[in-house]
A and B are shown apart, each in its own frame.
Chain A
Amino acid sequence: MQQCLNIDPGKCTGCRQCELGCSFAHEEFFSSSRSRIKVFDLHDQGLFVPYTCTQCADAWCMAACPVDAIQVDADTGAKTVDTGVCVGCKVCTIACPFGTINYVSATGKVAKCDLCGGDPACVKACPTGAISYIDSDTAGFSKMQQWVDKTAAQHNVQT
């Protein structure tokens, strides 16, 4: 069964362990700025929000890429960037209405969440259970996914 990241901002304390876990899993060094999950501090609401790609079905980044550098991982459903094919044109970064695929100037390519091949490092790093990896069909589907579905419906098409 396909799984997805479920994020519960209420449980997040803003410790940023997920960012460090993510950057280490992908880059082998600890760097919040190179993390593909990012914790935002909404201090007006007294809330920390971990935020990353929800692997939307009709992925905007994938549709926009001129050279087919973004593929679907058949096992996890993650949309993954093949950095050998990516030319670094950044069109995907402006096409994704969620802002979750980003240009990395150090590599000249883009990076996004790839669900770590099915064993997400952010989930393992989070000490409070604010990020979990759950079956996509499970009830209580993440709020983030609902928002994605809602906006996707608004975007471009009215039937």
Chain B
Amino acid sequence: MKHVIIGAGPAGVSAAEHLRKLDSTAEIVIIGDEAEPPYSRMAIPYYLVGDIEEAGTWQRKNGKHFKNLGVKLIHDTVVSVSPSSVRLKTGKRINFDRLLIATGSRPVQPPVRGLNHPAVHHCWTLADAREIAKRMQKGSEVVLMGAGFIGCIILQALVERGVDLTVVEMEEHMVPRMMNAEAGAMIKRWCQARGVRIITSAHVIEVAQQTESEKTDVIISTGEALSADLIIVATGVRANLGFLEGSAIAVDQGVVVDRQLQTSIYGIFAAGDVAQGPDFSTNGTAVHAIQTTASQHGRIAALNMAGRKVLYHGSLAMNTLETLGLISTSYGNWQGVPDGDSAVAINADAYRYLSLQFDGDVIIGAIAIGLTDHIGALRGLIESRIKLGLWKDRLVEDPYRLMEAYLARTGPG
């Protein structure tokens, strides 16, 4: 059996390792287009701060790990896919019995004039990070476009490096796809109190070279021009699908996969940021471009590629974010459902917030700020659809009794 995996991110690597566990003799090949050993994008912020060297971002620290596992790494780009082979940029064809598409996503380029200016960078790959690291000197003026999840993660690294930072976000509040208005406003207030200028409900119109300096002007929709040495674009990502054109593999927002993570073509699977798979919360499908989904997808895809019929119950959206020391987390359907109850506790002065959303007596989503202890139990409650019974009313009264409810309703108690 020959397994070919496109993409050496967390989804591809997780799949390769599980395939090896399941089949000691199968041929396993990973084709990746980045020059570095397989690394995790997630670790980039810690590289930018200077907490780790590049090697600290590698997914496996032993340089011989893949060789020892008998997993062959090929550095090349897949340009097209047919039902039994892939074609590489270098012209070669590689045949497969099972294929995994784990090509991740790439940042979107918003329609802004002058975005090809050399001072403008994404923060998505290690190559991007190297460029940013060079330019983010203490005191340099930086404009961050987008205060979504990725933008906010980089925000912390930029501030720790001592740059003079301005953030421009199109929506009304920060991290709009992870936090509700109340929680987003709390994060904004926290960041502003720490000297970061955050402009919400505004967008960048143009990036233009200043006439008598090295700097650029970032012109925003309020009419203001922000002076900048470095502009970082973090306005969202989109699945890497281009090479699938003409392949008959069904795509939508991502590569559409079923509960076995198989695409519309037999024997071809997809995982991670590129896959539009079952969504735990909605029963539909969704792209969840997060680490936990990538590693889980990798495992479920590997099981099915190896011939075990394993159905995935869907990915749960989950994110945790640290903005200048304030830790926020969200899970699942934090927006809630019509007719569903909720339990909310706010302490604005202490920057603490907890909101639980219920469907009947089951928690379906949550947002927390300033709460880290035993936070994972929320995932347990949501994904196991634990019926809270009497405990629901107790939580509506005081959502911080979460762990008591968890223990009382799950067994160890």
Contact = CB atoms under 8 A, between A and B. Distances in A.
Interface stretch (B52-60, B136-144, B227-235, B346-354): B52-60
Given A7-B412, A91-B291, A102-B372, A155 B309 contact: no
A93 B380 CA distance: 12
> Which bucket holds chain B's interface residue count?
35 or more
Interface stretch (B87-95, B188-196, B264-272, B403-411): B403-411
A156 B412 CA distance: 21
Contacts of B14: 63
B56 A87 contact: yes
A59 B364 CA distance: 23
A66 B413 contact: no
Given A51-B407, A85-B56, A97 B384 contact: yes
Contact of A94 (B51, B376, B406): B376
A159 B308 CA distance: 9
A144 B406 CA distance: 12
A68 interface: yes
Given A63-B299, A89-B42, A44 B408 contact: yes
Given A87-B43, A93-B320, A144 B313 contact: no
A38 to B, nearest CB: 8
Given A154-B384, A157-B312, A94 B296 contact: no
Contacts of A38: 373-374
Contact of B374 (A68, A100, A154): A100
Contacts of A100: 374, 376
A155 B59 contact: no
A64 interface: yes
Interface in B305-362: 308-313, 318-320, 322, 325, 327, 329, 331
A94 B408 contact: no
B51 A87 contact: yes
Contact of A87 (B46, B303, B412): B46
A129 B295 CA distance: 39
A158 B313 contact: yes
B40 interface: yes
A67 B40 contact: yes
Contact of B291 (A49, A66, A157): A66
Interface string B287-308: 0000110011001100100001
Contacts of B164: none
B383 to A, nearest CB: 6
Interface string A48-70: 01010000000010011011100
B376 A99 contact: yes
A156 B296 contact: yes
Contacts of A77: none
A141 interface: no
A94 B318 contact: yes
A90 B323 CA distance: 13
B412 A151 contact: no
A151 B410 contact: yes
B320 A102 contact: no
Nearest to A151: B384
B40 to A, nearest CB: 3
B177 interface: no
Contacts of A99: 373-378, 380, 403, 406
A47 B59 contact: no
A67 B56 contact: yes
A159 B372 CA distance: 33
Nearest to A9: B413
Contacts of A91: 42, 291-292, 320
Interface in B384-413: 384, 394, 403-404, 406-408, 410-413
B379 A97 contact: yes
A135 B294 CA distance: 35
Interface in B152-198: none
A157 B300 contact: yes
A90 to B, nearest CB: 5
Interface string A127-159: 000000000000000011011001100111111
Contacts of B42: 66, 89, 91
B2 interface: no
A30 interface: no
Contact of A93 (B56, B308, B376): B376
Given A91-B292, A146-B411, 15 more contacts: A45-B408, A66-B59, A67-B59, A87-B56, A90-B372, A93-B375, A94-B329, A97-B383, A99-B373, A99-B374, A100-B376, A156-B300, A157-B300, A158-B311, A158-B313
- Please list the 5 inter-chain residue pairs (A to B) with the smallest Cβ-Cβ separation, ordered nearest first: A99-B377, A99-B374, A66-B40, A97-B380, A147-B411
Interface of A: 7, 9, 38, 40-42, 44-45, 47, 49, 51, 60, 63-64, 66-68, 85, 87-91, 93-103, 105, 143-144, 146-147, 150-151, 154-159
